[in-house]
Amino acid sequence: MSDYEMMDKEEIFSKVLRAGRRTYFFDVRATKAGDYYLTITESKKFTNDDGSFHYKKHKIYLYKEDFVEFREILGEMTDYIINEKGEEVISERHQKDFKREDDEFVAQEAKTTEDTSTDSFTDISFEDI
């Protein structure tokens, strides 16, 4: 790979924000012409049933000509959310010990089913109906 191609792949300046299962990467990169642009990558960790895990990534490319409007709209949107809902996180899903209500219901149903003895099962013939 040539020096020119290396510069295209090189991260000029980077910052990382870890937020629970999500990680945000802010990377300044160089275009082929040598100008800079920003990539914002969201990486979210998912755990499979077997205990292994994988990441899903979403990336935004932001170029200098869009910085002013992007910053203005981002500021407007974040201000709106803070003004409407405050800074306190009210979503239980962001807490490490969060369990959805339907998860607890399914777990309780599974326990009830396990506790039910198969001896109490009644065999019904369709001829009886």
How far, in Å, CA of 57 to CA of 43, rounded? Answer: 4
For the segment 98-109, the average pLDDT, to the nearest whole number, is 57
Dump pLDDT digits (tens) for 72-88.
999 999 999 999 999 88
For the segment 10-26, the average pLDDT, to the nearest whole number, is 91
For residue 117, pLDDT over 50 is answered with no
For residue 96, pLDDT over 80 is answered with no
How far, in Å, CA of 1 to CA of 6, rounded? Answer: 7
How far, in Å, CA of 31 to CA of 28, rounded? Answer: 10
How far, in Å, CA of 119 to CA of 106, rounded? Answer: 23
For residue 2, pLDDT over 60 is answered with no
Please choose, from the candidates 12, 6, 8, the residue with its C-alpha nearest in 3D space to the C-alpha of residue 28: 12
Six token digits for residue 5: 């191609």
pLDDT top residue among 109 and 49: 49
Dump pLDDT digits (tens) for 20-67.
889 999 999 999 999 999 999 999 988 888 888 888 999 999 999 999
pLDDT number for residue 110: 56
Six token digits for residue 6: 């290396």
Stated pTM of the model:
0.59
Task: Find out whether 92 and 104 touch, Cβ atoms under 8 Å.
Answer: no
Domains of the chain: 3-89 (3.10.450.700)
Q: Please name the residues in contact with 19: beta carbons below 8 A apart, sequence gap of 6 or more.
A: none
For the segment 12-21, the average pLDDT, to the nearest whole number, is 93
